[in-house]
Amino acid sequence: MWWVAKPQDLHRVEDRISTIYVEKCHIDRDDNAVILINRDRTVRVPAAMVATMLIGPGTRVTSGAIRLLADSGTAICWVGDRGVRMYASGLGPSRGAGLLMRQAYLVTRTKERLEVARRMYGMRFPDEDVSTATMQQLRGREGARIKKLYREQSARTAIPWRARAYRPGEPFEAGDDVNRLLSAGHSCLYGVCHAAIVGIGASPALGFVHTGGATSFVLDISDLYKAHYTIPLAFELAAAGRHDERDIRTAFRDKVADGSLMARAIRDIKDLILGEGHNAPDRDALHLWDEFDDTYPAAPTGASDLADDWTDESLIGITGPDLPDHPVPW
């Protein structure tokens, strides 16, 4: 293509990358590398060094690039602007299922499932001992915590608060201004967490606190971050008189543009499923099932899939320039 510049090798920036976000680019294949092309530059990415590729707006991709990413075990997620929406995902057959198997093992055993739920709530209550709390007690603490947080944000911003209102399927239609902003902001948060979950090979459906839905685990992980991201942001926007859905979507996008939330979600997901301080090797394992082996080790070798040894903070964004209003002959 006429605008292809001299390739810039991405491995000169960092040795390994957990997640790469691509926007307003053409994605193609060149030997064993994926090339990201826009009108400013061409970036060459060795496919084997990327765990997850997030494909954002204004991007097109060739089948050759998809085939190479799939063969390399790279997860692909089609997302909204800066990941605030999750539309679809794909994972090639070369990727192992260790992390997913570990998640399924934990979620189908009452004792282990409760332990994971306690660790989730322990992240919310770092100064409290929840090691013996029941699910009912954990839910009671969480409910009291969220109500207190709403009251604090209401007092801080001088925005009246009554109660949470939400209409399933129409998150921006119910309640007052701050309720609609909360619903829209949570939807953005779900998109980022959904991409993080499928990107490292876990299941968005196998939740530990929430259950029965295709995104139960997405709701579990998202609840860890609402107090820091979406709840304060919704009250601040309401106080500023910015009540449109686009207002919180763009504000949330800017807040997570540095990739810190994605990195944090990936780290927390792995800690919850594999245990803190896990040191699983960067390889996959394919075995035949033994009918006499009905146990699963507490710290399974190979459960990390391809992403677990990789730096959590290594998220890089490749964004092309804004396109003109008139059609461009690509």
Q: What's the pLDDT score for residue 221?
A: 96
Its pTM stands at: 0.74
From the list 56, 57, 79, 53, the residue with the least C-alpha distance to 66 is 53
Give the HSE-up count for residue 12: Cα atoms under 13 Å, Cβ half-sphere.
Answer: 5
Look at 160 and 92; give whichever has higher pLDDT: 160
Question: Tokens standing for 80?
Answer: 């909204």
Burial of 25 (C-beta count, 10 Å sphere; 0-12/13-18/19+): buried
User: Would you state the pLDDT for residue 94?
Assistant: 63
CB atoms within 10 A of CB 73: 21
pLDDT digits (tens, 9 = 90+) for 127-160: 888 889 999 999 998 899 999 999 999 999 999 9
74 has pLDDT over 90: no
| Helix, strand or coil, per DSSP, at residue 104 | helix
Length of the chain: 330
- Report pLDDT digits (tens) over 220-273: 999 999 999 999 999 999 999 998 888 998 899 888 877 788 889 989 999 999
pLDDT score, position 288: 47
pLDDT tens digits along 156-169: 999 999 888 776 66
Here the tokens at position 119 are: 């660790």
- Which residue, 24, 36, 3, is CA-closest to 320? 24
pLDDT at 16 over 90: no
Q: Residue 97: what pLDDT?
A: 82
Mean pLDDT of 163-184: 78
